[in-house]
Structure 1
Amino acid sequence: MGSTSICVVGSLNADLIAYVGEQGSAASYATGSNFEMAAGGKSLNAAMSIASLDPAAVTLVGRVGSDDLGSFIMGTLQARGISTEGVISDDRIHTGVGHVRVNPEGEYDTVVVPGANGKFSAADVDAFLDGHEPPAFVVLNLEVPLPVVRHAATRFRELGTTVVLNLSPVHAGARSLLRLADVVVLNRSEACHVLDVPAETDERLLLTALREAGAKTPVLTLGEGGVVALDGNDFLQEKVEPTQIVNSIGAGDSFLAAMVLAMANDHPFSVSLRAANEAGRLVCGRPESFLTSDDIRHIEKAIGVPLAKVS
């Protein structure tokens, strides 16, 4: 990727994942078919997926605790070749935890205990920027405190960085961030929540309303319906091939990573959406929550061009 750089700022979690068995549950008791621990969090997932093409191109900035879970996350990042220079180890609080249950259909629910993510601060962002050249792209989400996301979006944009914001998990105040990002990615339910409109609102109307609320390039993910977006005056739509869902954890993060990878390598936005769509589909089909180098080859075959710049 040459001098192109992508900075992912935000959350790092240890995901404790329980797969609910086919027999379901009785009362408040469910029997699981499998359990695993994985490095997760929206920011970590995105960084891991970006690193599947070029580990040197991505920097991850966030916090973990000085505990066994934090060491597990650091080891996972280092094994993927991602620098941990931007990850602060906090000895005052535990590493963030995602307590995840995946049902037999591959859908999940999560209880997130923020831990060190909740202590991530504007000062952490400033410290990183004071010691590094501004990246070409920054990827943000809402798994760290909203004022910190607002500060990061403002600082990076002032430095000329393209700001890509995943408006998830959505909560009060999220709408105020729309004007601070160059590209905003969210799903239908998140869009309806942010705009305070009925769930059945037409997709084009949602995109138009997001644009009017300040989103320069709004992207609306639709699950098995694919993705729609407004790029300038162009309405873009990409369908997705059906897939057997094993685990949808990380699908949105992998979507985001592939989109930014394609953008960073100067592909048209329509191609970036096509790559993102395929990335989300691939990750849904297996337990892991991020892309592999084999996935990159599948994505390149699907979009018909290499993701990386040709020297």
Structure 2
Amino acid sequence: MRSSSICVVGSLNADLIAYVGEEGSAASYATGSNFEMAAGGKSLNAAASIASLDPSVTLVGRVGSDDLGNFITGTLRSRGISTEGITRDERIHTGVGHVRVNLEGEYDTVVVPGANGNFSAADVDAYLDGHEPPAFVVLNLEVPLPAVRRAATRFRELGTTVVLNLSPVHAEARTLLRLADVVVLNRSEACHVLDVPPETDDRLLLTALREAGARTPVLTLGGGGVVALDGNDVVQEKVEPIRLVNSIGAGDSFLAAMVLAMANDHPFPVSLRAANEAGRLVCGRPESFLRPDDIRRIENVIGVPLAKGSITPAQVSENIRG
């Protein structure tokens, strides 16, 4: 895999994570069992998981010129991820995710965008004007829609394969479907963007997404695995059950492994199988990102080497969680 073959564009947050204790809550008051601050955001999570297997990944986004921004850039450097594509915003604070994880490992988040809200088409242009286009770019909707649209358009014009995670979904998300090569979303997001009932059949959802412009729609089903439409073929991959410890970062790790497999020219079903296992591994432990030794576990599931060339694992940092 050539240098900088994968670029992740979008959000970087400082996540403030509270774990609800066994005492639970009374009225509006909950007692926590643990707290940690972590570098997060959908784009940073995906880049961190990719870097665990391929440290040549690049990350493009914004943080504030504050202590939280220093924390994020320091954490990225500790994992061997270049901060060259990170802009320090003098006008506003670093984005913050206020995360609460319950005893079942499920979570909810309040996100204050901060510098992510200032990420713009100009940031995309500035990066591309100074760098060779990568083979793949990974996008999501945690930064303003015009910036996402500009990134999808420009990268695609340059021959880059555009992978779009349609999350967090909103009313205008449907307008981006035609701009991506691969669109990844869960069932509830698909029903929202298509404005159809929540009980709509999976295959009908995939067909509707294709008709709305998504070339290769991928529907994640949580514990049910994944189903996708690859050309005229419906591809379905199941996932082995696991005791849920922490679901933060599962979707981002799914994306990371899928794109890594695609970047190494694996067939699409194999890429989905690798992605399933990556999400499963992350759900089964407190950490919210892939580790270097996960490549062997993923390869055991897909039955072939994930990387056709050698991949040098980056140093693991415990500061990236979700």
Match runs of 1:138-287 below 5 Å: 138-287=137-286
Show the counterpart of 1:34.
34
Work out whether residues 40 and 289 of structure 1, in 8 Å CA contact, stay in contact via their aligned partners in 2. no
Provide the secondary structure at the position in 2 that maps to 1:17: strand
User: Within 1, Cα distance between the matches of 2:228 and 2:184?
Assistant: 9
Measured after TM superposition, the shift of residue 24 of structure 1 is 1.2
Work out whether residues 4 and 58 of structure 2, in 8 Å CA contact, stay in contact via their aligned partners in 1. no
Measured after TM superposition, the shift of residue 290 of structure 1 is 1.0
Measured after TM superposition, the shift of residue 8 of structure 1 is 0.2
Per-residue CA distance 1:259-283 (angstroms, 9 max, x = gap): 0000000000000000000000001
Show the counterpart of 2:16.
16
Give the TM-score taking structure 2 as reference length.
0.95
User: Within 2, Cα distance between the matches of 1:227 and 1:76?
Assistant: 31
Per-residue CA distance 1:112-141 (angstroms, 9 max, x = gap): 000000000100000000000111000000
Matched letter for residue 82 of structure 1:
I
Work out whether residues 52 and 292 of structure 2, in 8 Å CA contact, stay in contact via their aligned partners in 1. yes
Provide the secondary structure at the position in 2 that maps to 1:281: helix
Matched letter for residue 253 of structure 2:
S
1:290 matched to 2:289? The reply is yes
Measured after TM superposition, the shift of residue 4 of structure 1 is 6.1
Matched letter for residue 194 of structure 1:
V
Matched letter for residue 20 of structure 1:
V
User: Within 2, Cα distance between the matches of 1:226 and 1:244?
Assistant: 15
Measured after TM superposition, the shift of residue 310 of structure 1 is 3.9
How many aligned positions are there?
310
Provide the secondary structure at the position in 1 that maps to 2:126: helix
Work out whether residues 64 and 117 of structure 1, in 8 Å CA contact, stay in contact via their aligned partners in 2. yes
Measured after TM superposition, the shift of residue 307 of structure 1 is 1.0
Measured after TM superposition, the shift of residue 289 of structure 1 is 1.5
Provide the secondary structure at the position in 1 that maps to 2:68: helix
Matched letter for residue 259 of structure 1:
M
Show the counterpart of 1:127.
126
User: Within 2, Cα distance between the matches of 1:270 and 1:203?
Assistant: 17
Work out whether residues 274 and 302 of structure 2, in 8 Å CA contact, stay in contact via their aligned partners in 1. yes
Per-residue CA distance 1:204-263 (angstroms, 9 max, x = gap): 000000000000000000000000000001100011111111110100000000000000
Deviation >2 Å, runs of 4+? 1-4
Please tell me the root mean square deviation across aligned C-alpha atoms, in Å.
0.9
User: Within 1, Cα distance between the matches of 2:4 and 2:58?
Assistant: 11
Measured after TM superposition, the shift of residue 92 of structure 1 is 1.3
1:105 matched to 2:104? The reply is yes
Measured after TM superposition, the shift of residue 23 of structure 1 is 2.1
Show the counterpart of 2:72.
73
Measured after TM superposition, the shift of residue 302 of structure 1 is 1.1
Moved more, 238-247 or 162-171: 238-247
Work out whether residues 300 and 306 of structure 1, in 8 Å CA contact, stay in contact via their aligned partners in 2. yes
Tell me, which stretches of 5 or more residues in structure 2 are unaligned?
311-322
Give the TM-score taking structure 1 as reference length.
0.98
Measured after TM superposition, the shift of residue 2 of structure 1 is 3.1
Q: Percent identity?
A: 88
